[in-house]
Amino acid sequence: MNSTMEATQNEQNSEVNPPDSQPLTLSKNAQKKLLKQQKYEAKKAEKKALMKEQKQRDAERKRKEWEEKLAALSEDERIKLIDSRKELRKERMEKRSEERGQKVQRLTQAKETGQNIVVDLEFSHLMTHSEIHSLVQQIMYCYAVNGRCSVPAHLWLTGCQGEMETQLQRLPGFDKWIIEKEQQSYIERFSERKDDLVYLTADSETVLHELDPTKVYIVGGLVDRNRWKGITMKKAEEQGIRTAKLPIGDYMKMSSSQVLTVNQVIEILLKFLETKDWKVSFFQVVPQRKRSEGDSGNCQEVDGEECEEEIKESEAKKRCVEVLSHD
C-alpha cells in the first residue's frame, strides 16, 4: 500500500476493507452508512424489476394493438400498412446509420484535435463491486454524451485492469468505442508530458478558469461516497503534477460539498468545450437538489454522491445503453 492510501485510510477509518485485509469492526457511523447504502441498493433493485415488468407489459400491449389493427383491415389494406411500416423502419435505420457515421467522424477527429480527458481507473481496489459497477455506468454515460457533442473530447481510460476492465468489457460494443483504453497509468502513458497533466480535484487550491487544449485533464475514477477524502489531491501531489478544481463556487451555491460525480465533471467539461460558458455548463449539469437555493426534497445525500440522482440518471443511462448497443 503506498503512502497516499495509508494516509487516507487512516484518516478515514474506512468502511470498506481492501480485498486482502482482515475485516475491520465497523463504527456506528459506518454501520449507519452501510445500512443506508443497502436500503438504497434494495430500492434500486426493486425499481429496476418494476421497470422491466412495465417494459414487458408495454411491448405486449403494442403487439396486441398491432394485431387488432391488422385484423380489422382488408387484405389489401393490411399489405399496404405492413409495407408502410417496413418503409418507416428502413428510413429510421438509414437515419441512425448516417448519424452513427457522423459520430464516428467527430470522434476520430477528436483523436487528433480534441481536448484530452483521462479517467484514472487506478482506484478499483478501493471500491465495492457495486461502486465499480456504478463507475462503469458513469463511463458509459460519458462516452454516449461525448459522442453526441458537436465538439467531442478525446477520452482516455488509464489504469484499466482487473474487475474494472472485466466490467467494461461486458458493455455492449465496448470493443468498438473510439476511446483510448490503457492498462498503464496516465503517469506512464504521458511520461514525456508530465508538465501537461492536470489532476482535477475538488481539494485543489487552483481554480480552473479555462480549458487549455495542450493540457491533459485527469478525473479520478472513483465512486467512494467521499470515503476516500482528498485521495486524488494527495496522489497528484506525490506525483508532482498540477491540480485544479472546477470554478463551481464562482457560479453556484451548493447545498453541501463541491465534490461531483465522475460523469457530472466530464459532462461539465464537455459542455464548457461547446459553450465556453461555465455558468451554463454548471446549471445544465449539476442537479437542482445539489444547489443550495433548490428544494432538496426528501432524498438524502450520501456524502457527495446522491441516491435519487443516480436513480433518475439510471433512466438516461439505460437509454444510452440502448443507443450504444446499436453502434
Ligand X SMILES: C[S@@+](CC[C@H](N)C(=O)[O-])C[C@H]1O[C@@H](n2cnc3c(N)ncnc32)[C@H](O)[C@@H]1O
Q: Are 98 and 134 in contact (CB under 8 A)?
A: no
Here the cell at position 235 is 496522489
Residue 222: other Cβ atoms inside 10 A:
25
d(CA 275, CA 60): 43
Phi and psi for 271 in degrees, rounded to 5?
-65, -40
d(CA 91, CA 96): 9
Nearer to ligand X, 167 or 201 (CB): 201
Q: Does 202 bind ligand X (CB under 6 A)?
A: yes
Of 9, 218, 269, give the one whose Cα is nearest residue 125.
9
Distance of CA 92 to the CA centre of its chain: 28
Nearer to ligand X, 226 or 239 (CB): 226
Phi and psi for 93 in degrees, rounded to 5?
-65, -40
Here the cell at position 243 is 491540480
Q: Does 268 bind ligand X (CB under 6 A)?
A: no
At position 292, the amino acid (one-letter code) is: S
Burial-class residue 160 by CB neighbours within 10 Å (0-12, 13-18, 19+).
buried
H or E stretch at 157: strand 154-158
Q: Which of 5, 142, 179, 265 binds ligand X (CB under 6 A)?
A: 265
Burial-class residue 292 by CB neighbours within 10 Å (0-12, 13-18, 19+).
exposed
Q: Does 219 bind ligand X (CB under 6 A)?
A: yes
Q: Does 230 bind ligand X (CB under 6 A)?
A: yes
Q: Which of 142, 145, 153, 222 binds ligand X (CB under 6 A)?
A: 222
d(CA 93, CA 96): 5
Q: Which of 229, 271, 290, 317 binds ligand X (CB under 6 A)?
A: 229
Q: Does 220 bind ligand X (CB under 6 A)?
A: yes
H or E stretch at 268: helix 262-275
| Nearby residues of 70 by Cβ (< 8 Å), 6 or more positions away | 78, 81, 82
Q: With CB under 6 A as the contact rule, which of the stretches 35-43, 78-86, 157-165, 223-231 interacts with ligand X?
A: 223-231
| Shortest distance (Å) from residue 135 CB to ligand X | 9
C-beta nearest to ligand X: residue: 220
Q: Answer yes or no: 203 catalytic.
A: no
| Shortest distance (Å) from residue 254 CB to ligand X | 9
Give the residues across from 232 on adjacent strands.
none
Q: Does 200 bind ligand X (CB under 6 A)?
A: yes
Q: Which of 122, 165, 224, 310 binds ligand X (CB under 6 A)?
A: 224
| Nearby residues of 238 by Cβ (< 8 Å), 6 or more positions away | 2, 3, 4
* Residues in contact with ligand X, shown as a per-residue x/- string from 147 to 186 under the rule CB under 6 A: ----------------------------------------
| Shortest distance (Å) from residue 61 CB to ligand X | 40
Q: With CB under 6 A as the contact rule, which of the stretches 63-71, 125-133, 182-190, 194-202 interacts with ligand X?
A: 194-202
Catalytic residue among 175, 212, 224, 277: 224
Q: Which of residues 242-261 bind ligand X (CB under 6 A)?
A: 245-246, 248, 258-261
| Shortest distance (Å) from residue 317 CB to ligand X | 16
Q: Does 320 bind ligand X (CB under 6 A)?
A: no
Q: With CB under 6 A as the contact rule, which of the stretches 21-29, 88-96, 173-181, 199-207 interacts with ligand X?
A: 199-207
Q: Which of 128, 183, 226, 296 binds ligand X (CB under 6 A)?
A: 226
Which residues contribute to the site for ligand X (CB under 6 A)? 200-202, 219-220, 222, 224, 226, 228-232, 245-246, 248, 258-262, 265, 305
Q: Which residues are designated catalytic?
A: 224
